[in-house]
Amino acid sequence: MRLLAAILVITALLGAAPVAAGQSAEFVVLRGGTPIGTHRAEVEIVGDETRVHVSIALDVAFGPIPLYRYRHDSREVWRDGRLVRLESRTDDDGDAMTLSVRSTPEGLRVEGSTGVFIAPADTVPTSYWTPALATNRPLLDSQIGRLLEVVRVPLGPGRWRLEGELNLDIAYSPQGRWTGLSFRHKGSDFVYVPRALADSRP
């Protein structure tokens, strides 16, 4: 999308580094150009583990009247480039969901809203912070715990479009840092803007 491409160019010029090991990143989420909340990722290296905390808070209102509320909180542990543990809790406008993922000798044991099953050991969750999302590895919905059928389409350096059961445009820097996200949902355009860039807008 043109807006996402423009945001990525400006971000690079500002020298922003939205996600890197040991750093926190916060995106302002725009719906139709209006801020509705934030998506924050914290990535920390502890010994041989990469620990990730993702929190999302979105609120849509019509004037003083609340129309929609979304909260998501997840914690991941990775070793050697693979997910070994994930716990998430989601409140989707009153619909509560939990997900638990554990590494086993057979693969990843997934226990979520769709039941319990074993996913491939190299599965990547939809927490977006890692460019492994743009590879051909299996993709797990980190909210309900379901493997998603998607096709990754390269859009240019560091940019991909995911099509299928998940539809969005996502971008990463040459260093593997998450730099942007955009998608269309229920007739509205959503764009993620790095907090530093959003705060600099007039």
pLDDT digits (tens, 9 = 90+) for 9-58: 444 433 344 444 556 678 999 999 999 999 999 999 999 999 999 999 99
User: What predicted TM-score, i.e. pTM, was given to this entire model?
Assistant: 0.85
The pLDDT value given to residue 25: 76
Nearest to 54 by CA among 110, 162, 130: 130
Pick 174 or 87 by higher pLDDT.
87
Q: Which residues contact 35 (CB under 8 A, 6 or more apart)?
A: 28, 29, 198
Mean pLDDT of the residues in the chain = 88
The pLDDT value given to residue 176: 83
- In what helix (H) or strand (E) does residue 6 lie, and over which residues does it extend? helix 2-14
Pick 82 or 4 by higher pLDDT.
82
Pick 79 or 1 by higher pLDDT.
79
Q: CA 101 to CA 117: how far, in whole Å?
A: 10
Q: Environment class of residue 27 by beta-carbon count within 10 Å: exposed (0-12), middle (13-18) or buried (19+)? A: buried
Q: CA 173 to CA 178: how far, in whole Å?
A: 7
Reported as a single tens digit per residue, the pLDDT across 64-75 is 999 999 999 999
The pair of three-digit structure tokens given for residue 2, joined into one six-digit string? 């043109």
The pLDDT value given to residue 14: 37
Q: CA 137 to CA 148: how far, in whole Å?
A: 11
The pLDDT value given to residue 200: 61
Question: Hey, is 166 helix, strand or coil?
Answer: coil
Reported as a single tens digit per residue, the pLDDT across 156-182 is 999 999 999 999 999 988 888 888 999
3-state helix, strand, coil in the chain (%, to 5): 10, 60, 30
Domain boundaries, the chain: 2-155+170-184
Reported as a single tens digit per residue, the pLDDT across 88-146 is 999 999 999 999 999 999 999 999 988 999 999 999 999 999 999 999 999 999 999 99
Nearest to 182 by CA among 14, 13, 31, 19: 31
- Distances 156 to 95, 152, 197 between C-alpha atoms, Å: 37, 12, 22
